[in-house]
Each structure stands twice: as structure tokens, then as C-alpha cells.
Amino acid sequence: MSQTTLNLVAITLFTLVMSSLLGPLLHISPFIPAAATIGILGIATLDTFNWQGKAGTLLVGWVDSFSPEHRMRVLQHEAGHFLVAHLLDIPVTGYSLSAWEAFRQGQSGRGGVSFALPDLAVELQGKSSQLVDRLCMVWMAGIAAETLAYGKAEGGGDDRQQLRLLWSQLQRPDSEGALKERWAILQAKTLLEEQRPAYEALVLAMSQRQPVETCCLAIDQSKSAV
């Protein structure tokens, strides 16, 4: 069961337990919380085994969509990924800024930026340090963008997980992975600061849901020589 679904179940069950305790005072039939509990657990099970957690993710995305600050955080986070990938010559193939957009595009998860990555299984056999560095910078760029805008990042859990998975595949010590993570955030921050006009142009283009080609053109027209 996905963490999103588990969280929703936990919150809902807590609410139902409280309603059961307060039911007699509020004249609520005990059958209502019981029926709701059974229904929610059934949906959660179906979501896990048939929908791979998509229903829970979509529900969270729907709730989050009512927060303008959250939408802006997501936009700036994903623009960080997009900009750093483009500047490091990793082709961007698409992006989505919510779970609903990702669902309509046939993607899983809460959305994000998609890349045309090389065959990592082949590339990593040679343990190319240049490729590893570029990937780490791209994955940490969302956290870097949020940190620059808000002082700290709320997102980025999945990004960190990708870096840790890569480190596991490389069979390198976890301590080195933690150092690489901090290094990549610092490098991405520096790149975002150097290319602030390009980043702002990209944020505007992505907020208008411009196609990838137009977003890349906005970067190229606004970026400065470093």
C-alpha cells in the first residue's frame, strides 16, 4: 500500500474513531462509522492492488490544488528540474504539475518532469562520474529551487530516493551518497542563481502550460553566458 494511501486511511480512521466516541452525544448511528470504515478500507485495498495507489495520489492532488502556495511551490520545484536538465544537455520530454495532469498524460505519481535518459544499466557499468554528477544535480534541482524561493524545501522525497537508489546500484557507501546529495544541491543552487532570468522565463512558460519546445526556447532566449 502506498504511503499516500496509508496516510489517508490513518487520518480517516482517526476521524471515524472520534465520530464513534462522540456519536452518542451527537446522535449519530454507530452503523455509519462502521460502514464508512469498511468502505474506505475496501477502496484502499482496491487502490493498492488494482490502481497502484493512484486513487490516493489523485485525492491528495485534488486537495492540494486548492492551495495557491502549494501550486506555486510545485511549479518552482519542477522548473528547477527542467532548467538544470536542459542546461546539462539532458533532454526533457514532458512535464506535469499535478497528479491530475500526470494521470491525463498516462503517467504515474504526482507529476513532474520527464527526461530522455540513456540506458542507465549500460552507462553505469562504466560508472561514469560525469553522468552521475549530472543526474544528481538534476534530481536535487527541485529541492534547490524550493530552498532558494522559500528557505526550505517541502518536496523532494522522491528525488532523494532516486539518488539513493542510484547509489545503491553503484554499490557505494551511504555516507558518500549523503555527501553527493549535499554537493548536488549546492551545485544546482549555484546554477539556478546564475541563470535566474532563464529560470523566471521558464516558470512563466510552465505556468501557462506551454509545450516543452517553447519552454526550452524561453530558457535559451533568456540564459546568460557563464
- pLDDT tens, residue by residue, 158-195: 899 989 988 888 888 888 889 999 999 999 999 999 99
Can you give the pTM of this predicted structure? 0.70
Kindly report, residue by residue over 87-115, the tens digit of the pLDDT.
Answer: 999 999 999 988 767 666 666 556 789 98
Domain ranges of the chain: 3-64, 68-222
Task: Report how far apart, in Å, the C-alpha atoms of 181 and of each of 11, 64, 80, 160, 177 are.
Answer: 32, 27, 16, 8, 6
Residues in the chain, pLDDT under 70:
1-67, 100, 102-110, 118-128, 225-226
CATH number of 68-222: 1.20.58.760
